Amino acid sequence: MIDSLRLRAGHVLAALTLLALPSLAHAQDAGLDPADSGDTAWLLAATLFGLLLVLPGLALFHAGRVRAASVVSMITQTAAIVALVSVLWIVVGYTLAFGAVSNGWLGSGNAWMLIDLGNVRADTLIPESAYALFEMVFALAAPALLVGAWADRARFGWVIGFAALWSLIVYAPVAHWVWGGGWLATRLGTVDYAGGLVVHTSAGVSALVVALLMGRRERFSPGAAQSGSSPVLTLTGAALVWVGGLALAGGSAFAAGDDAAMALVNTHVATGVAALAWLLLDRLGGKRPGPTGLARGAMAGLALIAPMAAYVSPGMAVVLGLAAAVLAKGAAHVMQQRLQIDDSLGVFAGHGVTGAAGTLLTAVVLSPSLGGTGYGPGMDLARQVVGQAIGVAAVAAWSAIATAIAALMVSMALPMRVTREDELAGLDRTSHGEGAFDTD
């Protein structure tokens, strides 16, 4: 009788244990995946809107500013770069930039093909898969900006080969140094909230190097105004870049909170002020205000506010917007008319100069006395100035050297520039066999 009761009790206990297993499993899963659904939803939405910055944003912005015979070429190059670099990012780019930290120069190979992602990204409440997708947008934006440097004259095959190599040997290491736990952020305290250093400075300096290596266009005219074939496309593209830039600024908080809201406010204000300031400068210089000037001003504002978007007050964002327009317009004048360097669409002036200036100014505007959020642990004004200055110098130097190497390496197999006849005829017809063509 006692044995029978024991047996029945054992059966009951076993049944209760089986019934409890699903709840235990759910409890374990919750412990392994503490991601916040609200923050995750915000980041995924920011990612999708951020993609508008590249496609169709930058594609249209570039296309509207070239002659009619190269419109299709600009859009095709941008779209092809987005497609290729997206694949490279998943395969190896993400792990080079954000893989496990080893020596501070490159991430380890633990996350190639995204095979070893954590349940959440360190110091966030979002899945690492969502983090990798969001960071991919920055990795796409940087090489897409470069398309503006070689407009009208680059061979399509070289463009694709160079963009692929550039994304791996320039962008990925720089992203690791600043955002992936690398040496600039951890040893020097270098700060870059949303890409002023990692994206705009690296792409701007690289654009200058490519422009010097490639030489001037056949139709280059230092004193001529270059509004392009379609100001409507230019302004439409800039508007999409504006929206995408807001999404990337807000998403860089990695949480749907006050930091995200303040980044959106400051980015929007600085971009608007820079756009208006460019129009005013045009008017003061004797030119009529137009859509191309407004678009270029907006782009400059986005670049300068990016490294500090969540760290300053809206009042300071107004001042920074004014500074962005003055710096970018002045740099463009020096580049085109005085130095006569044919950076076709002013990538160095509009992004490199403003991105670097914003990165340096971050050290100053972080001060609470200027409405900033204050310095990080162990940092003060002097240390932050050093960290930002070394960050700009290191990224600029690496971008210049690695870009020259990558450009020349690819050119050994794929010529860098089209023939003079193809350039004058227009890349739409000679490289892609379609499009509208100039006859002059």
The contacts of residue 378 (CB under 8 Å, 6+ apart) are 189
Return the closest-CA partner of residue 404 out of 119, 206, 268: 206
Asked if 395 contacts 201 with a C-beta cutoff of 8 angstroms, the reply is: yes
pLDDT of residue 219: 82
pLDDT tens-place string over residues 259-296: 999 999 999 999 999 999 999 999 999 999 999 999 99
Amino acid at 407: A
Distance in angstroms (rounded) separating the CA atoms of residues 157 and 414: 6
**Which residues, listed in sequence order, are joined to residue 154 by a DSSP beta bridge?**
417
Burial 32-66 (b: 16+ CB within 10 A, else e): eeebbeebbebbbebbebbbbbbbbbbbbbbbbbb
Q: What is the DSSP letter of 288?
A: P
CA distances from 314 to 95, 173, 262, 371 (A): 36, 32, 8, 9
pLDDT averaged over every residue in the chain: 91
Q: What is the DSSP letter of 419?
A: -
Superfamily of domain 36-420: Ammonium transporter AmtB like domains (1.10.3430.10)
Taking every pair of Cα atoms in the chain, the longest distance, rounded to a whole number of angstroms, is: 108
Distance in angstroms (rounded) separating the CA atoms of residues 294 and 296: 6
Is a pLDDT exceeding 60 seen at residue 299? yes
- Residue with tokens 């002045």, as numbered in its chain: 330
Asked if 174 contacts 355 with a C-beta cutoff of 8 angstroms, the reply is: no
Neighbours of 183 (CB within 10 A): 17
Asked if 147 contacts 65 with a C-beta cutoff of 8 angstroms, the reply is: no
pLDDT tens-place string over residues 232-269: 999 999 999 999 999 999 999 999 999 999 999 999 99
pTM greater than the 0.75 cutoff:
yes
